[in-house]
A and B are shown apart, each in its own frame.
Chain A
Amino acid sequence: MAKRSAPEVNAGSMADIAFLLLIFFLVTTTIETDSGISRKLPPIDETNQEPPIIKEKNLFTVLISKDNQLLVEEELMELKDLRKAAIEFLDNGGGQGEDACSYCKGKKDPASSDNPDKAIISLKNERETTYATYISVQNELVAAYNVLRDRRAQDLYGVSFKEMEKSYSDVNFTGNKEKLKEKIEKIKLEYPQKLSEVQN
Chain B
Amino acid sequence: MSKFKKKKSGELPAISTASLPDIVFMLLFFFMVATVMRENTLMIENRLPSATEVEKLDKKDLIMYIYAGQPQERFQGKYGKESRIQLNDKFADVSDIQAFVAAERASKREELRDYLTAALKVDKEANMGLIGDIKQELRKANALKINYTTREGDISANKKGNY
* Residues of A near any B CB (own CB < 8 A): 11-12, 14-15, 18-19, 21-22, 25-26, 29-44, 64, 68, 79, 125-136, 138-140, 142-143, 146, 199-200
Determine how close the nearest CB of chain A comes to the CB of B156; give it in whole angstroms. Answer: 9
Please give me the residue from chain A that is nearest to B38 by CB atom. Answer: A30
**B155 contacts A36, C-beta separation under 8 Å:** no
**Chain B neighbourhood of A126, CB < 8 A:** 128-129
Cβ of B145 within 8 Å of any chain A Cβ, yes or no, is: yes
Measured CA separation A199–B139 after assembly (Å): 12
Top 3 nearest A-B pairs (CB, nearest first) are A127-B129, A29-B35, A132-B124
**B138 contacts A130, C-beta separation under 8 Å:** no
**A36 contacts B51, C-beta separation under 8 Å:** yes
* Residues of B near any A CB (own CB < 8 A): 17-18, 20-21, 24-25, 27-28, 31-32, 35-38, 48-57, 60, 63, 117, 119, 122-129, 131-132, 135-136, 138-140, 142-152, 155, 158-160
**B21 contacts A14, C-beta separation under 8 Å:** yes
**Chain A neighbourhood of B50, CB < 8 A:** 135
**Chain A neighbourhood of B49, CB < 8 A:** 131-132, 135-136
Measured CA separation A161–B27 after assembly (Å): 39
**A37 contacts B17, C-beta separation under 8 Å:** no
Determine how close the nearest CB of chain B comes to the CB of A147; give it in whole angstroms. Answer: 10
- A135 in contact with B36 given A40-B145, A126-B128, A140-B155 (CB within 8 Å): no
- A37 in contact with B142 given A15-B24, A135-B150, A136-B155 (CB within 8 Å): no
Name the one of A19, A32, A128 contacting B127, with C-beta atoms under 8 angstroms: A128
6 further A-B contacts with Cβ under 8 Å, apart from A15-B20, A138-B148, are A34-B63, A41-B139, A41-B143, A44-B140, A127-B129, A135-B124
**Chain B neighbourhood of A127, CB < 8 A:** 127-129, 132
**B126 contacts A131, C-beta separation under 8 Å:** yes
Name the one of B28, B127, B144 contacting A131, with C-beta atoms under 8 angstroms: B127
Interface pairs (23), CB distance under 8 Å: A22-B24, A22-B27, A22-B28, A32-B36, A33-B152, A34-B56, A35-B54, A36-B57, A36-B148, A37-B53, A37-B54, A39-B147, A39-B148, A41-B138, A126-B129, A127-B129, A130-B125, A130-B127, A131-B128, A132-B159, A134-B131, A135-B148, A136-B49
